């Protein structure tokens, strides 16, 4: 039977789809503006006219008004007297010279190799794709990770470590699976006598080195190459920091804890920053947040904080502090545990 089109009801639920589609369009407009370098250009040319921007960005004039208005509607451009400039939010988040910029993180979501861009494949896999985590993260991934960490998580973790009573007397720090190395860099900035080693896979530490040099800490922060599961990561450390590394070692955390114990000086501190799932592996945050977390933690956050704490205890650590840290994909749990 065919439907009488004139009488076909219009579903109020359409808004559900429209809102999702609008989000996609907004992402595309902003991604394009970031790729064009529009915000960098406007930072140097505030108060530009539509014509000037169109000429500089090589955009057809007939799209300019609506294109720029879309960015005004997003709160990223300000418009008055037919002139445009970056909003304060755009200057902070989207301009290359800003230390808080988020552009690489934003673009990484849709990068061809990202888990979100290849969601169909990602959801079928039972292990990380080869060429990504096996060979380690690439520069884009690390930059995105660095920018994510600076949305409050790194600040909270490093402030908590600075609050440990042994911090001022600490001299050597190891950042295991440190990637970009920003945790080690931030802690060395906070304590002038601290030196640090960022331990990671060989092709990653080239990128780490770039961060170390950008923050002018090459005299106090170095890198060491290796595989944390088999290679020696040295000893004589006052602090060993492990952030978002342990998911793939979840089945044998004690093996890692025992090696960290040996690497630490007496009374030294193990700092662990990871996502844990809710009691009973439940879902306290939204589904998208939880899915993001799963995609980033080899399928699942760490389970059962009680088991984690018991493993710490069994491996010779005393839990000094356990606190929730606000992060991008929900809270992480920060453990500060001292070597007994
Ligand atoms: C998710 S990133 C975390 C980076 C940083 N610690 C943070 O919290 O932002 C995990 C890091 O661990 C490194 N990694 C993974 N497996 C490793 C292994 N077996 N040995 C050494 N590093 C490893 C990766 O190269 C990557 O830099």
In a domain, 323, yes or no: yes
Distance in angstroms (rounded) separating the CA atoms of residues 53 and 126: 47
Provide the pLDDT confidence category of residue 129 given band limits of 50, 70 and 90. Answer: low
Render 74-119 in DSSP notation, one character per residue.
TTSEEEETTEEEE-HHHHHHS-TT-TT--HHHHHHTTSTTSTTTTH
* Residue 136 reports pLDDT greater than 80: no
Provide the pLDDT confidence category of residue 134 given band limits of 50, 70 and 90. Answer: very low
Same domain, 330 and 190: yes
Specify the pLDDT at position 128: 59
Provide the β-strand partners of residue 319.
337
Specify the pLDDT at position 127: 65
Question: How many structural domains are present in the chain?
Answer: 2
Task: Give the largest CA-CA distance in the chain.
Answer: 82
286 CB contacts (<8 Å, ≥6 apart)? none
Distance in angstroms (rounded) separating the CA atoms of residues 138 and 51: 38
In a domain, 259, yes or no: yes
Q: Supply the residue whose CA is at minimum distance from atom 19 of ligand 1.
A: 227
pLDDT digits (tens, 9 = 90+) for 217-266: 999 999 999 999 999 999 999 999 999 999 999 888 999 999 999 999 99
Residue 239 CA to ligand 1 centre (angstroms): 17
Name the strand (E) or helix (H) holding 282: none
Same domain, 218 and 303: yes
Q: Ligand 1 pocket test: which of 147, 153, 196, 200 has the largest number of ligand atoms within 8 Å of its C-beta?
A: 200
Provide the β-strand partners of residue 49.
83
Same domain, 92 and 152: no
Same domain, 80 and 144: no
Specify the pLDDT at position 32: 98
Same domain, 214 and 327: yes
Specify the pLDDT at position 133: 45
CATH number for position 17: 1.10.10.10
Residue 200 CA to ligand 1 centre (angstroms): 6
For the segment 49-70, the average pLDDT, to the nearest whole number, is 97
Considering 82, 101, 120, which residue would you say is the last residue of a domain? 101
Same domain, 72 and 202: no
Same domain, 94 and 196: no
Ligand 1, residue 137: give the atom nearest the CA: 25
In a domain, 109, yes or no: no
Distance in angstroms (rounded) separating the CA atoms of residues 175 and 167: 15
Question: What is the rounded average pLDDT for all residues in the chain?
Answer: 93
- Ligand 1 pocket (Cβ < 6 Å) reads 136-137, 145, 149, 177-179, 200-201, 204, 227-229, 243-245
Residue 197 CA to ligand 1 centre (angstroms): 14
Same domain, 179 and 72: no
Residue 271 CA to ligand 1 centre (angstroms): 15
Residue 179 CA to ligand 1 centre (angstroms): 5
Provide the pLDDT confidence category of residue 52 given band limits of 50, 70 and 90. Answer: very high
pLDDT digits (tens, 9 = 90+) for 281-315: 666 668 898 888 888 887 778 887 888 999 999 99
In a domain, 280, yes or no: yes
> Whose CA is closest to 273, among 128, 176, 173, 162?
176
Domain residues for 20? 12-101
Asked if this assembly's ipTM is beyond 0.90, the reply is yes
Distance in angstroms (rounded) separating the CA atoms of residues 272 and 166: 16
Same domain, 235 and 322: yes
Same domain, 155 and 32: no
Q: Supply the residue whose CA is at minimum distance from atom 4 of ligand 1.
A: 179
């Amino acid at each position: 039977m065919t439907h009488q089109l004139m009488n076909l009801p219009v579903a109020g639920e359409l808004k559900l789809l429209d809102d999702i589609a609008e989000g996609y369009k907004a992402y595309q407009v902003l991604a394009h503006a970031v790729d064009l370098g529009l915000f960098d250009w406007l930072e140097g040319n505030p108060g530009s006219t539509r014509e000037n921007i169109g000429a500089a960005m090589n955009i057809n004039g007939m799209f300019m008004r609506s294109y720029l208005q879309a960015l005004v509607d997003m709160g990223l451009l300000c418009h008055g007297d037919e002139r445009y400039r970056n909003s304060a939010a755009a200057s902070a988040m989207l301009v290359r010279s800003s230390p808080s910029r988020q552009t690489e993180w934003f673009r990484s979501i849709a990068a061809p190799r990202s888990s979100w861009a290849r969601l169909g494949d990602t959801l079928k896999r039972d292990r990380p794709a080869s060429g990504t985590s096996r060979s380690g993260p690439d520069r884009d991934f690390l930059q995105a990770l660095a920018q994510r960490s600076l949305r409050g998580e790194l600040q909270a973790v490093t402030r908590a470590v600075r609050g440990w009573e042994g911090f001022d007397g600490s001299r050597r720090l190891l950042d295991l699976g440190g990637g970009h190395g920003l945790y080690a860099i931030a802690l060395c900035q906070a304590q002038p006598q601290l030196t640090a080693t960022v331990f990671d896979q060989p092709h990653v530490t080239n990128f780490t080195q770039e961060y170390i040099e950008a923050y002018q800490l090459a005299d106090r922060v170095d890198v060491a190459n290796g595989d944390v599961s088999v290679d020696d990561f040295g000893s004589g450390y006052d602090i060993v920091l492990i952030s978002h590394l342990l998911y793939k070692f979840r089945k044998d955390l004690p093996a890692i804890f025992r090696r960290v114990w040996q690497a630490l000086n007496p009374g030294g501190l193990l700092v662990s920053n990871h996502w844990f799932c809710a009691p009973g592996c439940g879902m306290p945050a939204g589904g998208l947040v939880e899915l993001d977390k799963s995609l980033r933690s080899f399928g699942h956050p760490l389970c059962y904080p009680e088991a984690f704490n018991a493993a710490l205890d069994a491996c010779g650590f005393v839990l000094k502090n356990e606190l929730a840290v606000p992060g991008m994909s929900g809270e992480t749990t920060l453990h500060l545990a001292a070597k007994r």
